[in-house]
Structures are given as C-alpha cells and as structure tokens.
C-alpha cells in the first residue's frame, strides 16, 4: 500500500510547520523554559511527526519528504530526550570553589598515577645525572641549564640591571600559553590509551630530577628552591592535574572493570575532563605571572627565605583548596568510599556537580 500522499501532505503539513517553528524558537533561545501546556504540545507534535515518518518509511519512499521529516524528528528528539543538565548559566565562583576541587578528588587515583609517573621520571633523571654528569646536554637540552649552577648563581646575584625590564609581560604571556599547550597535549594524549600522557609526564619528571640533582650537587639547593618554588608550587601540580585528566580519559577509553559501552564511559567523564583542564589553565595563568614577576629575581633583590616561604604558602593553600574546598563531611565520606571502590562517582557529588 502507498499512502495518499496528497491528502497526507495536506493534513500533516501544519503539524510539521508548527513543530519546526517551536524548534527554531528553542534553538534561538536555548535558555527559554516552556510552560506545561507548551511542553505537552511540543511532545504531541514530536510524536505525531515521528509517526508520520514511520508511516512514510513503511508505505512510501518519497525520499525528499522522508529526509525532511527525519531532520525534523532528529532535532526534536535531541530536545525531548536530553536528560543531562540544561546549561543554566555559569556560576564561576561555585565552579571554582566547589566543582573543580570536587572533580579533582573524584579522580584521586588518576592523580596518584600522574604523580607516580612524574616521581619515577625525577628519580631516573636525578640518578642518570648523578651517575653520568656528561649526560647533562641530553637530559636537559635547554641552553640556560647548561651552565655550571654555581657560576649561574654568582651571575644572578651580582647582576645590577633587571634583565627582564620591559619584557616581563611578554615573558609571562609566553609562559602561560606554552605551559597551557603542553598541558592540553598531555591531556589529549590520553587518547593513546594513556601512553602519550605517561611519556609527557615522565619526560617532565626526568628534566626536573636532573635539574634538582645538578643544583643540589653544586651546593645551590637554597637558590634552587627560591628559584623554582614560587611558580613551581603551582605549575608542577597543574601539569600533574593535566596528566590526571589524561589518565581519566585513558581509563574511560580502556574501561577496565566496566561493563558500560565506550561511548557511555567517555560521556560520563567528559565533563570532569573539561573541568580539570580549565582548572589547569587558571593555575598556569597564576604560575606564569609569578614566574615572570617574582621567580627570576634573586638575592639581594628578594631574600631566598621570602621566596621559599611564598612558594610553601602557595603549595599549602593549593593542597588545602584541592583537599577540602567544596566538600561537606558527608561528601568527604562518599569521596573516601568512592576512592576505595575504584573511583566510582559519589551520588551526591555528581548531583551537586
């Protein structure tokens, strides 16, 4: 049987036009809230159009009308069946003080892995330099690190002119963008089942370990702390969090111990990954400012003790923020349970996030 297309079009066209009008309005104003009557009417129009599509697919194969109806049904389906939160206006303070630290805590295992890989890299880099100091150009292939640490400290402390005069803003912008790109790459390489993320973190660790051993062996530990701690206290955790996001992605991709399909696993973590990487970007903006405006100034301009104290204070504040901010006692219990159960998200946290 083939439908009476003329009568079918005459009867149904007003329904399709009304649905199309409502969809256009919803797409123009995503924040608009329908009244109950409007929602009922919208649902009724969707069901009728879907039924028309089914009828047309079964009894006629006029392709243009079918494609038009498929397009309408697809648009309406997305509006009706979406169960995730509608974008209700972004609350930056709530996001920063609650969502970000909660998300960080929800994926503590991934952070622990990120930290472990970096520490392993540090140990290898440090050990390699201690055993073979000639390997310095290979381990730290950066011109400004090739100098003897004692010589560099002497130069820095005797400098009378500000070598960053007029270039601090530029240097700061360069640091922010470069470090953010590295962090995004570390996250994105999670798509290589985490292998790329491991390599990035490990390589960073190797450089950090080699630099540390180089300066400590030369008796310049105080200079090193004063130089690295003010910005490193934020920058290094930021890179670790980017690694954490990469491992969250890799873990969803691999899906160990989960029976959910790949798309559902990725869908579950994608919001958290975005939260983490935005948090990383904010931390790196701060670190960029500190590195350009503070870290490059040494004694006698700024006492090392003050710089070390500043860095330690930053690290303590960051640790406190990530560990406690946005959590209730009940929430913390659920987080602990979630951590023990292998990172399964806590119910109340997911709801509040």
Partner 1 sequence: MNSPSLEIRTPEGICFSQMLAGPIARFLAWSLDLFCILVLLTLVSYLALLLIFVSPGLAVALNTLGYFVISIGYGIVCEWFWRGQTLGKRVCRLRVVDAEGLRLQFHQVVIRNLLRFVDALPFLYFVGGVVCWFSPKCQRLGDIAGGTVVIRHPRLLEPDLDQVLPGKFNSLRQYPHLAARLRQGVSPAEAALAVQALLRRDHFQPEARVALFAELAAHFKSKVDFPPEATDGIADEQYIRNVVGVLYSEH
The residue (of 139 and 276) whose beta carbon lies closer to partner 1 is 276
Distance CA 291, CA 177 (A): 13
d(CA 18, CA 38): 12
Q: For Cα atoms 18, 23, 25, give the angle at the middle one, nearest 5 degrees.
A: 100
Rounded CA gap, 33 and 19, in Å?
A: 16
Q: Which of 4, 24, 132, 333 binds partner 1 (CB under 8 A)?
A: 4
Using the contact rule CB under 8 A, the part of the chain among 77-85, 126-134, 308-316, 334-342 near partner 1 is 77-85
- State whether residue 123 is helix, strand or coil: helix
Residues touching partner 1, count (CB under 8 A): 69
- What string of DSSP letters covers 26-53? HHH-TT----HHHHHHHHHHHHHHHHHH
Binding partner 1 (rule: CB under 8 A), the pick from 11, 24, 44, 74 is 74
Q: What does the alpha-carbon distance between residue 335 and residue 353 come to, in Å, rounded to a whole number? A: 13
Which of 137-145, 184-192, 208-216, 293-301 is the region at the interface with partner 1 (rule: CB under 8 A)? Answer: 184-192
Residue 317 in tokens:
């504040």
Q: Sketch the per residue contact string, 13 through 42, with partner 1: x for CB under 8 A, - otherwise.
A: x--xx---------x---------------
Applying CB under 8 A, the span of 53-61, 100-108, 127-135, 304-312 interacting with partner 1 comes to 53-61
Given candidates 122, 228, 249, 280, which one binds partner 1 under the rule CB under 8 A?
A: 249
Distances (CA, A) of 14 to 9, 10, 18, 48, 80: 9, 8, 6, 11, 20
Q: Which stretch binds partner 1 (CB under 8 A): 143-151, 219-227, 230-238, 261-269?
A: 261-269
CB 187 within 8 A of CB 242: yes
User: Is 160 one of the binding residues for partner 1 (CB under 8 A)?
Assistant: no
Shortest reach from residue 48's CB to partner 1, in Å: 11
Asked if 103 touches partner 1 (CB under 8 A), the answer is no
Q: How far is CA 268 from the centre of its chain?
A: 14
Q: Is 148 left (phi over 0), alpha (psi -120 to 50) or beta?
A: beta
CB neighbours of 14 closer than 8 A, spacing ≥ 6?
A: none
CB-based contacts of 184, cutoff 8 Å, min separation 6: 242, 277
Q: Which range binds partner 1 by CB under 8 A, 130-138, 142-150, 191-199, 344-352? A: 191-199
Cβ at position 188, least distance to partner 1 in Å: 4
Does 184 bind partner 1 (CB under 8 A)? Our answer is yes
- By C-beta, is 65 or 296 nearer to partner 1? 65
List of residues contacting partner 1 (CB under 8 A):
1-7, 9, 13, 16-17, 27, 47, 50-51, 53-54, 57, 59-65, 67-71, 73-74, 77-79, 81-82, 84, 87, 166-170, 172-174, 176-177, 180-181, 184-185, 187-189, 191-192, 196, 249, 253, 263, 266-267, 270-271, 273-274, 277
């Amino acid at each position: 049987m083939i439908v009476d297309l003329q009568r079918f079009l005459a009867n149904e066209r007003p329904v399709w036009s009304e649905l199309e009008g409502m969809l256009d309005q919803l797409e123009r104003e995503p924040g608009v809230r329908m009244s109950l009557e409007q929602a009922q009417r919208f649902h009724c129009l969707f069901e009728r159009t879907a039924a028309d599509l089914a009828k047309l697919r079964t009894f006629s194969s006029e392709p243009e009308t079918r494609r038009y109806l498929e397009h309408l049904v697809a648009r309406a389906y997305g509006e009706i069946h979406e169960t995730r939160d509608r974008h209700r206006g972004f609350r930056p303070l709530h996001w920063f003080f609650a969502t970000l630290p909660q998300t960080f805590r929800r994926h503590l295992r991934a952070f622990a892995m990120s930290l472990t890989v970096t520490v392993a890299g540090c140990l290898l880099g440090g050990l390699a330099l201690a055993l073979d100091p000639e390997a310095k150009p290979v381990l730290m292939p950066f011109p400004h690190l090739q100098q003897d640490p004692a010589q560099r400290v002497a130069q820095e402390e005797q400098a009378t002119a500000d070598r960053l005069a007029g270039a601090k803003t530029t240097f700061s912008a360069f640091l922010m963008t470069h470090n953010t790109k590295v962090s995004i790459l570390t996250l994105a390489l999670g798509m290589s089942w985490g292998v790329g993320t491991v390599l990035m973190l490990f390589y960073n660790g190797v450089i950090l370990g080699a630099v540390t051993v180089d300066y400590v062996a030369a008796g310049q530990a105080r200079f090193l702390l004063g130089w690295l701690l003010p910005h490193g206290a934020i920058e290094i955790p930021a890179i670790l969090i980017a690694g954490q996001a990469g491992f969250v992605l890799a873990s969803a991709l691999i899906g160990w111990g989960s029976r959910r399909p790949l798309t559902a696993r990725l869908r579950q973590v994608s919001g958290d990954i975005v939260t983490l990487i935005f948090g990383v970007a904010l931390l790196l903006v701060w670190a960029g400012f500190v590195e350009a405006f503070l870290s490059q100034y040494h004694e006698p301009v700024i006492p090392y003790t003050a710089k070390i104290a500043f860095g330690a204070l930053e690290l303590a504040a960051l640790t406190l923020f990530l560990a406690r901010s946005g959590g209730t006692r009940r929430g913390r219990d659920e987080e602990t349970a979630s951590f023990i159960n292998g990172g399964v998200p806590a119910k109340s946290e997911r709801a509040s996030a």
